[in-house]
Amino acid sequence: MVAAPGQRLGPYELVAQIGAGGMGAVWKARDTRLDRIVAIKICEGRFSERFEREAKTIASLNHPHICTLYDVGENYLVMEYLEGAPLKGPMPLSEVVLLGGQIAEALNAAHTSGIVHRDLKPGNVMITAAGVKVIDFGLAKSTANRVPSSTDVTLTKPLTGEGTILGTVPYMAPEQLQGQDADARSDIFSLGCVLHEMITGERAFSGKTPVAIMAAILEQEPSSAPTAPAWLRRLIRRCLRKAPNERWQSAGDVALELRDPPEEAAPVAASKPLWQPWAIAVALALVAGWVAWRRPAPNPGGSAVRATIESPEKYTIVSASGEGYAIVSPDGKSILFQAGTRTPPRRVELWIRSLASGDARPLVADGAPASPVWSRDSKWIAFRTGTTVKKLEIATGRVVTILDDGREYFLGSWNAAGEILASDRRNGSIVVISDGEASARVVAKPPEQAIYRNPTFVPGGKGFVFSQATDAATEPSILYAESYGAAPVRIAEGLHPVAARTNGRIQLFYATPTAIVVQEFDESRKSLVGPVHTIAGRPFGAGAGSFAASDTGILAVAPASRAPESQPFLVSRAGEGHAVADPGGYRQPRFSPDERQVLIEKWESDRNPGDIWLIDVARKSGSPLVTDRNAWDYMPIWSPDGKEFIYTSRSTRAHRVVRHNLESGKSAEVETGLSAQSIIFPTSWSPDSLKILASFDRRHLVAVDLAKRSAHRVTQATGTESAGVFSPDGKFVAYSSTETGLAQVYVIPFREGGPSTAQKIPVSAKGGTSPMWRRDGAEIYFLDPQGTLMAAPISRGDPLRVGEPKALFDIGLEAGTASYDASADGKRFVILKTLKRDHPGTIEIISNWPALIETSGR
């Protein structure tokens, strides 16, 4: 048949031809049902016996290093689409060993199923993001009279009266050339040829014509591979023995030899730059190879290898609620990460990725799973959905509830005794969660105005480390407690400690203001000792899960990122509308009282992370109002008359609340009566212009009297409060609080001079943040945990009543909080649409991280 782009074969739409052969063509196509890219092999003419055999052969195989068959059509095969390049030497020794082992494993799987490939060669081995993929199992015992060329020829012509030879000449076993039946040992001979070419870049047997090559295979020894170690040369020579019974008798044995070489065979660094199209796949496979090739303990004498894990298709690797970019399993074989869908309906799923095969699959797709941790045996994971802590068995998918006490926990570490360290989001305490216990046990309580986060057990020890944040002008600290309830000791200035043990020593990773570093920890002395080694640049907002390490030498790092690139849009209640400014890094858009302008925070660069801009809605353009190169200026709010705005200005050691007059262009610091060491985010200006609401130390909601220069708490709640906004008449405050464990939106009457004692009124039921009043008081808007903008009707009276919230439109998980504002009539919204993230949802994997310590210590 004649094929063309756009043509349909059943549900498959052809995109482009990517290959051709004697039996037909190979096309890239799109499966319109599942919206995935596939490869289609189209048979010339009728569906041949070879195609039928190939379909049956591939369908009987299920292995991560063998190309997968999806479907069979009238005259075509639908297979896995492989992005990569054919195998080509020479390669570094470490790549030869790893990739060669994967080829041997694929052959062993085929042989175990009674299938012999008969045409193994570099062109039938693809390097993909999942490592190698062995392709083309379709060679049949055809008698087609095709004359071979003088190059890389696949023969199907009878050369003797007794049999037919099949295969590609330079990689064929002697018995194949002699027309005898090929068996598994024939594939092992071909494997030896491939391994030789991977090392040297040259064929094991060469000649100017196919006949000369055949003579060399039948009569000569293979060419030498002087760069290979002795053990590998012996392995290849045994593959290439002339007599089948003198070769390795099983491809599985070859795979075992490659996975567990002699002790003198230490891995070596790659000698080629890892920028080839297939390099990420090779490097990622090397990560797994480092663990599986030798033994769990890393070898400091080797070299570190860096690779990148990309997001699954249609997903972005995210840190939901500031938790869990990527968590390495204790055995170093898998990575857990959270991925959010890129299009509505927005949701976060928990994924697992094998470092050996590169395969990734979702484990938990319901309830916005967050804060994952591994069990010490790598057989279970624990995670949180809302206020429920659960565990999942990797092998079976069985889910068991561990704890549901109505509180929200950030999980940190799981020890061999089955105890999970966590921090209580409500009060910042460190707790221990155990199966069978009705509540968490507090083991470390923070001092006033401080919170504890990121707890992790010290491997093999009794103690644990964690970080303390005061939300003041001082940097957070790393603390160590030698046992539950013991007084903690400060051991470093930094954030997010991660402990790992290598070569009998405890190494502590943590984030400084500029980098991720590692230093040896002496548990007996309760202190860090020796030099500090820099591992990577610090991820922006390095919080829980932004990097993780295993004792086996695997380190996962979430790359540096700033706010996602976004664009302000003016939209209807259906979410439809147009952009009002150019793309950039924005946060907290706020309509002016006349709705002609939008006050917004804009990220200009790493050197100048936050400025205040003013957008003209009609002209669809913006200009800067506050640009202090020595400070981060953010969280602007309008005065009721639109003549002023207030914002927070943060420099290295100071946080100020600043009042800016638009008419005069002058700014002045606002005296709040609060500690100079506190962080204050203004969130709303009262209708009478006399007060502002502000977030105080990211925990409490306060009202600041601008004339009296004093402040007081708005509520008596014990949870973390945020995003307080005055009602249009100033008599109520809507806010978000975690006092019940899960962030919810409430309304409470505002009281002058002190916290309100009235009963709070719930607005959200299934979680909510970022409340906003409609300016006529008829609705309250908020974001649900999936990033959907919700509208709750308000009935004024005594008492005030809140109706059932209704979904308006999706804003998106990446947009997060401070991402919208509503017009006075609730018919228009200014929102931030996320265009792309500064990092596209990637994780850097570093294998053999102890080598980085050795290198920087020289």
Residue 271 lies in a domain: no
HSE of 239 in the Cβ direction (CA atoms, 13 Å)? Answer: 29
The tokens describing 533, both together, are 């080694």
H helix or E strand, kind and range, residue 474: none
Average pLDDT over residues 82-107: 90
For residue 187, the domain's CATH number is 1.10.510.10
pLDDT in tens, 12-49: 999 888 876 556 788 999 998 888 889 998 886 555 55
Confidence of residue 347 (pLDDT cuts 50, 70, 90): low
Residue 272 lies in a domain: no
Task: Indicate which residue of 31, 119, 331, 424 is catalytic.
Answer: 119
3-state SS string for 534-548: EEEECCCCCCCCCEE
Neighbours of 301 (CB within 10 A): 12
Which residue, 81, 96, 127, sits at the end of a domain?
81
For residue 461, the domain's CATH number is 2.120.10.30
Domain extent, residue 25, equals 1-81
Q: What percent of the chain has pLDDT over 70?
A: 78
Which residue, 265, 294, 310, sits at the end of a domain?
265
Residue 265: predicted pLDDT: 42
Residue 169 lies in a domain: yes
Does residue 444 surpass a pLDDT of 60? Answer: yes
Average pLDDT over residues 600-612: 67
Return all residues near 790 (Cβ < 8 A) that are at least 6 apart: 764, 768, 781, 782, 783, 784, 805, 806, 807, 808
Residue 295: predicted pLDDT: 33
* C-alpha to C-alpha distance for 732 and 628, rounded to whole angstroms: 35
Q: Which residues of 126-144 are buried (b: 16+ CB within 10 A; e: fewer)?
A: bbbbbbbbbbbbbbbbbee
Report whether the peptide linkage leading into residue 799 is cis, meaning its omega lies within 30 degrees of zero.
yes
Residue 11 lies in a domain: yes
For residue 42, the domain's CATH number is 3.30.200.20
* C-alpha to C-alpha distance for 844 and 304, rounded to whole angstroms: 12
Most confident of 18-27, 397-406, 464-473, 536-545: 397-406
Same domain, 550 and 612: no
Any long-range contacts for 424-432 (C-beta under 8 Å, 24+ apart)? Answer: 425/719, 425/720, 425/738, 425/741, 426/718, 426/719, 426/720, 426/738, 426/739, 426/741, 427/451, 427/718, 428/452, 428/453, 430/455, 430/464, 430/466, 432/484
Residue 273 lies in a domain: no
Q: What percent of the chain has pLDDT over 90?
A: 34
Does residue 120 surpass a pLDDT of 90? Answer: yes
Confidence of residue 802 (pLDDT cuts 50, 70, 90): very high
Same domain, 393 and 499: yes
Same domain, 805 and 850: no
Does residue 516 surpass a pLDDT of 80? Answer: yes
Residue 46: predicted pLDDT: 54
Residue 460 lies in a domain: yes
Q: How far is CA 471 from the centre of its chain?
A: 28
Q: Is 632:649 a contact under the CB 8 Å cutoff?
A: yes
Same domain, 770 and 716: yes
Average pLDDT over residues 81-109: 90
Which range (276-280, 660-664, 839-843) has the least confidence? Answer: 276-280
Same domain, 148 and 213: yes
pLDDT in tens, 216-262: 999 899 988 887 888 999 999 999 999 999 999 999 999 989 987 76
Does residue 666 surpass a pLDDT of 80? Answer: yes
Same domain, 554 and 511: yes
Q: Looking at per-residue confidence, does 589 or 210 come out higher?
A: 589
Same domain, 532 and 634: no
Residue 269: predicted pLDDT: 33
Q: Looking at per-residue confidence, does 513 or 438 come out higher?
A: 438
- Is 825 marked active-site? no
Same domain, 553 and 629: no
Residue 236: predicted pLDDT: 95
* C-alpha to C-alpha distance for 571 and 811, rounded to whole angstroms: 11
Same domain, 304 and 334: yes
* C-alpha to C-alpha distance for 266 and 141, rounded to whole angstroms: 43
Write down the pTM of the prediction. Answer: 0.50
Q: Is 318:812 a contact under the CB 8 Å cutoff?
A: no
Residue 278 lies in a domain: no
Q: How far is CA 128 from the centre of its chain?
A: 19
Average pLDDT over residues 687-691: 93
> Across all residues in the chain, what is the average pLDDT?
80
Does residue 300 surpass a pLDDT of 90? Answer: no
Neighbours of 14 (CB within 10 A): 19
Average pLDDT over residues 355-368: 73
Residue 297: predicted pLDDT: 43
Using DSSP's 3-state secondary structure scheme, residue 231 falls into helix
Q: Looking at per-residue confidence, does 642 or 296 come out higher?
A: 642
Residue 696: predicted pLDDT: 77
Same domain, 73 and 119: no
Neighbours of 267 (CB within 10 A): 25
* Nearest to 793, CA basis, from 810, 813, 776, 809: 776
Residue 274 lies in a domain: no
pLDDT in tens, 138-185: 553 333 333 333 334 444 333 333 334 456 889 999 998 888 888 999
* C-alpha to C-alpha distance for 201 and 198, rounded to whole angstroms: 6
Same domain, 261 and 352: no
Instruction: Count structural domains, the chain.
Output: 4
Torsion angle, CA of 555/558/560/564, rounded to 10 degrees?
170
Q: Looking at per-residue confidence, does 233 or 717 come out higher?
A: 233
Q: Is 182:190 a contact under the CB 8 Å cutoff?
A: no
Confidence of residue 309 (pLDDT cuts 50, 70, 90): confident
Confidence of residue 75 (pLDDT cuts 50, 70, 90): confident
Which residue, 237, 265, 293, sits at the end of a domain?
265
Does residue 205 surpass a pLDDT of 70? Answer: yes
* C-alpha to C-alpha distance for 807 and 477, rounded to whole angstroms: 42
Same domain, 436 and 486: yes
Residue 741: predicted pLDDT: 65
Confidence of residue 557 (pLDDT cuts 50, 70, 90): confident
Does residue 439 surpass a pLDDT of 60? Answer: yes
Q: Is 824:776 a contact under the CB 8 Å cutoff?
A: yes
* Nearest to 50, CA basis, from 119, 153, 148: 119
Confidence of residue 606 (pLDDT cuts 50, 70, 90): very low
Return all residues near 84 (Cβ < 8 A) that are at least 6 apart: 126, 127, 128, 129, 133, 277, 278, 281
Q: Looking at per-residue confidence, does 741 or 50 come out higher?
A: 741
Q: Is 222:196 a contact under the CB 8 Å cutoff?
A: yes
The tokens describing 410, both together, are 């950030």
Query: In this structure, which amino acid lies at residue 459?
Result: P
